[in-house]
Every structure is written in C-alpha cells, then in structure tokens.
Amino acid sequence: MFFKTIKFKLTLWYVVILGIILSSFALFLYVTLADSLYRGLDNKIKTMAEVIASSVRSPLGGGPSITDIDRIMTEHFGIRPLGRFIQVLDESGRVGGRSTNLRNVKIPVSVQTLKEAARGRVTFETIKGMGEYPLRVVTLPVIENGRMAGIIQVGSSLEGVEEALHQLLLIMLIAVPAALLVTSLGGLFLANKALRPVDGITQIARRIGSGDLSQRIRIKRVNDEIGRLASTFNEMIAKLQESFRQVKRFTADASHELKTPLTILRGEVEVGLKKKRNLGEYRQILASNLEEIDRMSRIVDDLLTLSRADMGEFKLEREEVDLSCLAREVWEDLQLLAQEKGVHLQYMNDGFSKVEGDPLLLRQLILNLVENGVKYTPSGGEVELRVRGSLEKKTVIIQVSDTGVGIDQEDLERVFDRFFRVDKARLRKTGGTGLGLSICRWIAQAHQGQIGVESLPEKGSTFTVTIPMKD
C-alpha cells in the first residue's frame, strides 16, 4: 500500500527529477573536463613540436641526432619533459631522429597523416597499443621555402588525463547515488510532514461518515494549500449539516402538514359511515373533504415547484416584463378578498419598472406577498402594494406593507424557511401551506434579486423585493 501513497509518489518524482538533474550535471562536468584536459594536452605537445621545428631546420641531411633532440629539449624547457616522446621524420616518413625515451620504438605514422602533413596541416591522433595507456600524438609539418622539409611528431601519454577522468567518474558514481539516497529520505520526511494534515482530514471524514456532522478540522495555518483545503472542507461540512437539518425539519413539517388534512378526511369519512344521513349532511361532508383535498393539492404543487427549483429543472422564460402592470393586475384580482376581510388594499407605482424575467413567476411572487398581507391583517387594517424604480441603482423595488399581526424578531430569519409560520399566523383557516414565502425567495433569487422583511409584532410587516432593472 505504501507504494500507492501520495507520499511515495511525491518522493519518487522528487528523486527522479533530482537524479536527472545530477546526472545531467555530472555528464556535463565529465565532458567539459575531458575536453579541457585533451585540449590542454594538445596545446602542450603542439607547442613542443613548434619549438623543435624552429630549432631543427634541415632534417634531410641525415636529420638531427638523439643528442641534438635532447639538447634542444634541455635548452628550451630546462630539463627534458617527462612523458613526452619526440620523433623527427623526413617528407617520406623515414625516421631522422628520436628522443631517448623512445629507444628502438617507432611512433607509427599513417598514410592519411602523411598526406595531411604534405598539405601543410597539423593533425592530432590517439594511438593505442604502445603501452598501458594510449598515446596522444601531434604531427607538425616543417615548411621551408614553400615546401615540406620534414615532419615533427610529439607524443604524450594519456595516463594523467585518463587517471583524472577515472577519478572523477568514480567520485560521481559514489556521490550521485549517495545524494539521491539522502534526498529520498529527506523528501519522504518532508512529504510525510506536509501531508500529515491530510491524514487528519481523512480521520475527520471517516467520523463524519458515521453520522457525526459536528466534527471540524483544526486549522493551524490558514494561508497555505492544506489550510485552504481544510477551511473549504469545514465550510462544506457546515453546509451539509445545515442541509441535513433543513431536510429533517422539512420532512417533519411536510409530514405534519399532510397528516392533518388526512386525519380530517379520515375522521369525516368515519363519521359519515357510522349511520345513515340525509343528502344535505353527505354534501356537507364531501364539501369539507374537497376543501382538505384542495389544501393537500396546493401543498404537493408547491413542494413540486420547490423540488424542481432545487434540482435546477425549472426553466425560466426570459422576456421583458413591466412589474407595474403585473402588480396592478394582482391588486385588481385581490380586491374582492380584501373587501371580504375588511382590509383596505392600496396600489402605487412610479412607472420605471421594466425587468427581464418570467412573467408567470413574477406574478406569483407579487400575488403570494399581497395575499399573505391580506390574510394576516385584521379587519379595518391596510395593505399597500408599491412598485418603484431606482435609476441610480438600476433596480426595481416591490414593497408590500401591512398593518397585520407582525413577526417577532427571533422569527425574522426563519420566515422564508419551508413550512415555517409564526404561531400567531399558524391558523388553518387562513388556508396557507407555509411554502409561499419560500417560493417567493426562490423566484427573487432566480431573477438575480433579493427579498427581505422588516416587522414589529402587532404593528405590521414590510416585505421588500429588489430585482435588476432591464437595460
């Protein structure tokens, strides 16, 4: 399992990348040093060949003796350089003289080298088989009066160069793996330390999986990546906890709202079946049943609307809508209900009220707010519907004010929750489902708007909806 962990993968990638970098650097260092050593050696033997060429002018007349070459070496270099082999040839390649360290050994000369010398070109070559280490040889033609008078060859053993390169290679073969080993241990330590908070997140997630949504991750450093991950995780859990709480409350409230009319239906049917009744009594029971069925139908329809909205399956129509016209239609439609309740319903507008949205949903928004105001305002009270535009803020404001029962301050934050109704308004005779304000909030948010409420108990309430004005 360890080889499948992020710690191992991070350490592996770290070691692989570092290994590539170190290997590339080692290769570059080796190639650069080798080139520098070979170039330095070539310069030394070429300089020595040029010195001898300037001292030996006519190797054709039998060539300089061994003593002459040693004398020239001593004069120019103080002592005869160790490890250097000198050979003087005529234009045909015959040996005219050698340094004493060559004795009876001849530095081989290839035909190609003689051809290059005849063209006046200096050549460098590496000759193997003359000892434990190869020999680096420079062939320098001696030109007199425009023609080649002879050839100077100076050779030097590559022992020093190869020993230095061998030592460097040995050091790199030991140092690079050792560095990678130390790096892998350090990388594993750092990865383990960096990912330790992730283990804490995993443990918290497991506890949450068992149903304890109150668990939260302790955050030490908020500004790093792990801290931001933990903060996001905590926020997600808080939202889930709130969502589950709302679902539980919603399920309980929905069960309660549907259980009540079902209980009434059951009771009325049982009463009707206990004995024979006349036609009028049966009609009264059926009318009461129909009223409860209508109530359940409204609850189910509202629940379906909110459910489709939550799932994002509700498609809004987009067109230009004049909220003043919609508000006036609602005002006219609810005049009869207001008169029956003895409530005075007013309407006001300033004409700047065009928005882009779904006319049916916006009409339902206004209708729900005004209908609630009329239902919860006692006889002799007043409900005012007002639509006004704010050219400065580019918004249209819908306000519904009433002089009804009002809402306690502690209930204001929950008034838009599903099935929530304040105790004073929780009367079945109002016919409400407890979902109207939830639908209003969804419609406002679906149109990039907001809805809020201000209220005082026994003084009344004011609901304010703000929707962006059409450009």
Contact between residue 346 and residue 383 where contact means Cβ atoms under 8 Å apart: yes
pLDDT-derived band at 189 (thresholds 50, 70, 90) equals confident
Query: Is residue 408 helix, strand or coil?
Result: coil
Highest mean pLDDT among 50-59, 76-85, 247-256, 282-291: 282-291
Q: Right CATH number for 319-468 from 3.90.1140.10, 3.30.565.10, 3.60.21.10, 3.40.640.10?
A: 3.30.565.10
- Residue ranges, CATH 3.30.450.20, the chain: 2-163
Contact between residue 66 and residue 98 where contact means Cβ atoms under 8 Å apart: yes
Residue type at position 113: T
Asked whether residue 385 carries a pLDDT value surpassing 90, the answer given is: yes
List, in order, residues 6 or more apart from 348 with CB less than 8 Å away: 384, 385, 386, 387, 388
d(CA 51, CA 428): 122
DSSP state of 165: H
Helix ranges (H only) for 130-195 are 159-194
Cα angle 89, 94, 100; round to 5: 60
Contact between residue 227 and residue 219 where contact means Cβ atoms under 8 Å apart: yes
Pairing of strands 344-349, 382-390: parallel
Tens of pLDDT, residues 203-231: 777 777 656 777 777 766 666 777 777 78
d(CA 159, CA 152): 22
Average pLDDT of the chain, as a whole number: 81
Residue 366 to residues 18, 46, 154, 180, Cα–Cα distance (Å): 68, 103, 108, 72
pLDDT for position 56: 60
Residues 225-310, CATH architecture: Orthogonal Bundle (1.10)
- Residue ranges, CATH 1.10.287.130, the chain: 225-310
pLDDT for position 64: 47
> Tokens 């129909």 appear where?
290
- Please give the helix or strand (H or E) that residue 17 lies within, else none: helix 6-55
Tens of pLDDT, residues 441-464: 988 998 999 999 999 888 899 999
d(CA 112, CA 94): 15
Asked whether residue 61 carries a pLDDT value surpassing 70, the answer given is: no
- Residue ranges, CATH 3.30.565.10, the chain: 319-468
Asked whether residue 313 carries a pLDDT value surpassing 70, the answer given is: no
Asked whether residue 127 carries a pLDDT value surpassing 80, the answer given is: yes
pLDDT for position 421: 64
Dihedral of alpha carbons 110, 115, 120, 125, sign: negative
Q: What is the DSSP string of 328-359?
A: HHHHHHTHHHHHHHT-EEEEEE-S--EEEE-H
Residue 199: burial class (beta carbons within 10 Å; 0-12, 13-18, 19+): exposed
Tens of pLDDT, residues 405-427: 888 888 887 888 777 766 544 44
Smallest CA-to-CA distance from 453 within 462, 445, 444 is with 462
Among the residue ranges 46-60, 151-165, 166-180, 190-204, the one predicted with the least confidence is 46-60
Asked whether residue 430 carries a pLDDT value surpassing 90, the answer given is: no
- Both structure tokens of 186: 């350090």
Neighbours of 21 (CB within 10 A): 10
Instruction: Go through 372-387 and write b for each residue having 16 or more CB atoms within 10 A of its CB, e for each that does not.
Output: bbbbbbeeebbbbbbb
- The topology under which CATH files domain 2-163 is Beta-Lactamase (3.30.450)
Tens of pLDDT, residues 13-47: 888 999 999 999 999 999 999 999 999 999 988 88
Lateral strand order in the sheet of 95-98:
95-98, 84-89, 147-157, 135-144, 123-127
d(CA 234, CA 204): 10
What predicted TM-score, i.e. pTM, was given to this entire model?
Answer: 0.50
pLDDT for position 6: 79
pLDDT for position 298: 74
Asked whether residue 326 carries a pLDDT value surpassing 70, the answer given is: yes
pLDDT for position 165: 92
Query: Is residue 431 helix, strand or coil?
Result: coil
List, in order, residues 6 or more apart from 399 with CB less than 8 Å away: 384, 385, 386, 387, 388, 462, 463, 464, 465
Average confidence (pLDDT) over 231-252: 77
β-bridge partners, 399: 386, 464
Cα angle 104, 107, 110; round to 5: 140
